[in-house]
Structure formats: structure tokens, C-alpha cells
């Protein structure tokens, strides 16, 4: 497993943990609000002091919720947007299933690429996959030379190591 693949696994684990916390907290508060619609009127009433509305929403938030999620709820009530919570929850659940819209291309090379080569490779990747794609470069000396490009499940392996494996396989089949 390359360092890039390992980093992606760690990132996916972090994403999953963070997502579960956010989804759990948003679902709990949304369920409490759905069970008592009068809560929305209290939380959305901009004439009431923020601190009172904040206390009211804090009573709905699960105890182990992080400060970041708590701040998010504070932002919703501060901006008078608590009625958007069901939509936010639905969109977050959609993102949890389909993933974020940004795609990432990982370009691995045996040695660090100079700026000019990076720019050419990035241009080629964007031409093929779209201008919105993010391109990350990494060094993997096991490639010996050439490049390996990963976008989602697609792998373009134009490395010397891949060519040597192909030649080895062909020689084994020939004998």
C-alpha cells in the first residue's frame, strides 16, 4: 500500500467518524423539533435574547456533541435559519451516500516533478476529467519511473514498474 493509499484510508476513517457525529446530532435535534413544532417558533424568534434561544437548543443537543456541531446549531438560530435544519440534514445524508462532488486525482511519480511537468500533467488530467478536479502529487519510488494516476476507481498506470511487470508476465507465458 502506497503512502497515498494509506492517507486516503485514514482520511476516509476521519470523514466517517465526523459524518456520523454530525448526522447523529442533526437527526436528534431534528426529531425533537418535529415532535414539538412550538420549539421552532421559540428558536426562530429573533426578539428573544440569543442566550435564551441557545439554552433552548442546547437542551435538544445530545450530551457528547462536539463544540463544532454545537456552534453550527448556534449559527442556525443566530441567523434565523433553524427551519432549514430538515433540508440541511437531507443534503448531508445525500452527501454521505454519494460523497462530496469534488473529485481528487492523485498523481504518483518515482521522483519529485518540477513545476513545469506538474503543470502539464495537471492540465492533461483536467482536460480528461474536468476543470473542477483537484490534483495531488506524491512520490512513490517503487514506480521506478513514469506516472500512476488515480481518479476514484480508475487507475492509469504508465510507470516503469508496470511495464516491467508486463514484460515479466509475457516472458513467463512464453516459456
pLDDT attached to residue 102: 58
Q: Is 82 exposed, middle or buried (0-12, 13-18, 19+ CB in 10 A)?
A: buried
Domain limit, last residue, from 98, 133, 155: 98
151 and 67 share one domain: no
pLDDT digits (tens, 9 = 90+) for 45-87: 999 999 999 999 999 999 999 999 999 999 999 999 999 999 9
The pLDDT of residue 82 is: 93
Residues 8 and 92 in one domain: yes
Cell numbers at 93, concatenated: 445524508
Asked if 54 and 126 sit in the same domain, the reply is no
pLDDT at 15: 85
Q: What is the pLDDT of residues 122-168, one digit of tens each?
A: 999 999 888 888 899 999 998 999 999 998 888 999 888 888 888 88
Q: Mean pLDDT for the chain?
A: 89
Q: Which residues pair with 139 in a beta bridge?
A: 109
Provide the residue range defining the domain that includes 21. 3-98
Domain boundary among 98, 130, 164: 98
Domain boundary among the residues 40, 72, 98 is at 98
Q: Provide the grid cell at 25.
A: 446530532
Which of 97, 45, 100, 43 minimizes the C-alpha distance to 74? 43
Question: Are residue 92 and residue 109 in the same domain, yes or no?
Answer: no
**In terms of domains, do 12 and 74 share one?**
yes
Do residues 20 and 53 both lie within one domain?
yes
pTM beyond 0.85: the answer is no
Instruction: pLDDT band for 5, please (50, 70, 90 cuts).
Output: confident
Q: Over 90: is that where the pLDDT of 24 sits?
A: yes
92 and 115 assigned to the same domain: no
Strand partners, 157: 148
What is the C-alpha separation between 175 and 165, in angstroms, rounded?
Answer: 16
143 and 72 co-located in one domain: no
pLDDT at 100 over 60: no
- Note whether 14 and 71 are same-domain residues: yes
DSSP string, 112-168: PPPHHHHHHHHHHHHHHH-TT-EEEEEE-GGG-SEEEEEETTEEEEEEHHHHHHHHH
Residues 75, 133 within the same domain: no
Amino acid at each position: 500500500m502506497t503512502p497515498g493509499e494509506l492517507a486516503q484510508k485514514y482520511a476516509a476513517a476521519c470523514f466517517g467518524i465526523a459524518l456520523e457525529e454530525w448526522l447523529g446530532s442533526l437527526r436528534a435535534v431534528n426529531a425533537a423539533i418535529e415532535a414539538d413544532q412550538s420549539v421552532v417558533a421559540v428558536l426562530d424568534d429573533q426578539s428573544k435574547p440569543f442566550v435564551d434561544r441557545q439554552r433552548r437548543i442546547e437542551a435538544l443537543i445530545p450530551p457528547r456533541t462536539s463544540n463544532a456541531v454545537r456552534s453550527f446549531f448556534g449559527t442556525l438560530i443566530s441567523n434565523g435559519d433553524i427551519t432549514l435544519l430538515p433540508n440541511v440534514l437531507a443534503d448531508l445524508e445525500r452527501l454521505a451516500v454519494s460523497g462530496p462532488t469534488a473529485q481528487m486525482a492523485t498523481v504518483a511519480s518515482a521522483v519529485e516533478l518540477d513545476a513545469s511537468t506538474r503543470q502539464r500533467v495537471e492540465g492533461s488530467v483536467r482536460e480528461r476529467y474536468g476543470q473542477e478536479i483537484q490534483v495531488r502529487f506524491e512520490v512513490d519510488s517503487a514506480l521506478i519511473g513514469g506516472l500512476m494516476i488515480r481518479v476514484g476507481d480508475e487507475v492509469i498506470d504508465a510507470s516503469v514498474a508496470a511495464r516491467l511487470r508486463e514484460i515479466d508476465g509475457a516472458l513467463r507465458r512464453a516459456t
